[in-house]
């Protein structure tokens, strides 16, 4: 599994995939970037990590510009060759779009199949992750990245996506449906049983907590949440918005300024990033959990695992009308849907769930039961196992 990241350990989805494949009898390695002083190879949480690429600060800056125009990286090319040779690799599984071309070229050199694991609509994501207009018009220009995506994906042997809407988008740009496997961004069933911190839960015992957990960025829709607070506070006197996460400090400062301007900053708590094991305590402390994503071509074709985490813990959700979010909330009966740019609609949903305790309990119970029945990692990872069964059969043949 190739990942253009330095994060140890690899992200939760990648860990779930690796453990599932290992349970199915495959030996799995992670090839990632490394920082100075880190071991080249080590076992982390039962996963074998190889830090095959290292760059100094100046090299990273140069790389950022050259790579975004050429989609090539000589350091990664050498690292892949060494990785394959040292560990007798049979399949290259590349996470996210950027390294797909390098993986395809390596696959052709080494006679290996390549799997592209697309966590999101990357060309569209570049248009919402960054606000610098010059960068979006040059190194992150959508048309170039969209062409690269079409060309690179036609050359891979298989594609994994996180939701049906993502599969449909790729079919719409000319990718053959039969080589696309949908492996939703769900969470393992035991996640709902993680012990919680009574100190965190007790801190909010007298508040009606509405929470959001994840990254801060304009496409996350948190400005709509802030705008909804003054509309809800009169009818929800003990309202508290708890934002667990961070990133994009400029956007966070704008959110803080917006809350002060609307005189609702007293209702907002900013916890910053918390360890993965702590998020379950914040979910447990919540009455309602949010996925308020702004609608755009990126959010319309991806799904965050937080919606499954919320419902797994037995919490009703309020989600925006991004098609995957709305479909799952309605399909499971686990929550309400509001139009993504409508603060009044979101406020109305918060008030409705505050006033109707029976509805809140019903959605919590129905959502949890539906997720456990259909949307756990154990239930949805079958296509990944089947894909690798086919690849193993092809290699033996």
Run of H or E including 54:
strand 47-54
pLDDT on residue 219: 92
DSSP 4: S
Fold match flag (12-183+381-396 vs 189-373): yes
Give the side-chain half-sphere CA count within 13 A for 361. Answer: 3
- Where does the pLDDT of residue 396 fall: very low under 50, low under 70, confident under 90, or very high at 90 and above? low
pLDDT on residue 61: 82
What's the CATH number for 12-183+381-396?
A: 3.40.50.2000
- Where does the pLDDT of residue 397 fall: very low under 50, low under 70, confident under 90, or very high at 90 and above? low
Least confident of 68-77, 311-320, 335-344: 68-77
Question: Hey, where are the domains in the chain?
Answer: 12-183+381-396, 189-373
Tell me the pLDDT tens digit for each residue of 278-331: 999 999 999 999 999 999 999 999 999 999 999 999 999 999 999 999 999 999
State mean pLDDT over 334-363: 97
Tell me the pLDDT tens digit for each residue of 27-67: 999 999 988 888 999 998 888 999 999 888 888 888 878 88
Adjacency order of strands within the sheet including 288-291:
268-272, 239-246, 208-215, 288-291, 317-320, 335-338
Residues 258, 363: Cα–Cα separation, whole Å: 31
Tokens 């499954």, residue?
Answer: 308
Q: Which of 285, 281, 287, 328 is nearest to 304 (CA)?
A: 328
State mean pLDDT over 177-201: 92
Q: For residue 135, is pLDDT > 90?
A: no
Tell me the pLDDT tens digit for each residue of 80-101: 999 999 999 999 999 999 999 9
Q: Can you spell out the DSSP letters for 264-295?
A: -GGGEEEEE---GGGHHHHHHT-SEEEE-PPP
Tell me the pLDDT tens digit for each residue of 6-17: 766 568 899 999
Q: For residue 375, is pLDDT > 90?
A: yes
Average pLDDT, the chain: 94
Give the architecture (CATH level 2) of 189-373. 3-Layer(aba) Sandwich (3.40)
Tokens 């090839």, residue?
Answer: 31
Q: For residue 125, is pLDDT > 70?
A: yes
Q: How far is CA 182 from the centre of its chain?
A: 15
Q: How many CB atoms lie within 10 A of CB 242?
A: 22
- Where does the pLDDT of residue 190 fall: very low under 50, low under 70, confident under 90, or very high at 90 and above? confident
pLDDT on residue 179: 96
Residues 344, 346: Cα–Cα separation, whole Å: 5
Run of H or E including 161:
strand 158-161
Residues 205, 333: Cα–Cα separation, whole Å: 26
**Alpha helices (H) in the chain, listed in sequence order:** 12-23, 57-70, 74-87, 100-110, 122-129, 133-137, 142-154, 164-172, 198-203, 222-232, 249-261, 279-284, 306-312, 323-332, 343-355, 357-374, 377-380, 382-396
pLDDT on residue 8: 66
- Percent of the chain residues past pLDDT 70, beyond the cut: 98
């Amino acid at each position: 599994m190739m990942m253009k990241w330095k994060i140890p350990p690899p992200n939760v989805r990648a860990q779930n995939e690796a453990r599932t494949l290992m349970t199915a009898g495959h030996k799995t390695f992670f090839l990632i970037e490394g920082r100075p002083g880190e071991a080249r190879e080590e076992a982390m949480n039962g996963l074998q990590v190889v830090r095959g690429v290292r760059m100094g600060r100046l090299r990273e800056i140069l790389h950022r510009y050259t790579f975004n125009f050429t989609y090539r990286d000589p350091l990664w090319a050498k690292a892949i060759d060494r990785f394959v040779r040292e560990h007798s690799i049979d399949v290259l599984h590349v996470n996210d779009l950027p390294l797909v071309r390098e993986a395809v070229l390596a696959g052709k050199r080494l006679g290996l199949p390549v799997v592209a694991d697309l966590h999101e609509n990357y060309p569209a994501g570049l248009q919402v992750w960054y606000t610098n207009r010059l960068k979006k018009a040059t190194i992150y220009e959508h048309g170039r990245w969209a062409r690269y995506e079409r060309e690179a994906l036609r050359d891979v042997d298989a594609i994994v996506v996180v939701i049906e809407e993502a599969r449909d988008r790729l079919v719409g740009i000319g990718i053959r449906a039969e080589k696309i496997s949908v492996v939703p961004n769900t969470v393992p069933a035991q996640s709902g049983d993680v012990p919680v911190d009574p100190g965190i839960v007790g801190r909010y015992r007298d508040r009606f907590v509405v929470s959001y957990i994840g990254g801060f960025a304009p496409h996350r829709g948190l400005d709509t949440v802030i705008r909804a607070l003054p509309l809800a506070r009169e009818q929800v006197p003990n309202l508290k918005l708890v934002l667990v996460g961070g990133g994009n400090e400029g956007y966070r400062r704008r959110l803080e300024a917006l809350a002060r301007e609307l005189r609702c900053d007293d209702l907002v708590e900013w916890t910053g990033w918390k360890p993965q094991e702590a998020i379950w305590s914040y979910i447990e402390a919540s009455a309602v959990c949010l996925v308020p994503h702004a609608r755009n071509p990126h959010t319309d074709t991806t799904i965050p695992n937080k919606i499954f985490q919320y419902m797994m813990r037995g919490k009703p959700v309020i989600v925006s009308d991004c098609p995957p979010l709305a479909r799952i909330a309605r399909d499971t009966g686990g929550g309400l849907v509001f139009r993504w740019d409508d603060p009044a609609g979101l406020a109305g949903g918060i008030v409705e769930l505050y006033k109707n305790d029976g509805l809140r309990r019903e959605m919590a119970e129905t959502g949890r039961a539906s997720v456990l029945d259909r949307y756990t990692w154990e239930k949805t990872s079958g296509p990944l196992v089947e894909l690798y069964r086919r690849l193993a059969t092809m290699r033996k043949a």
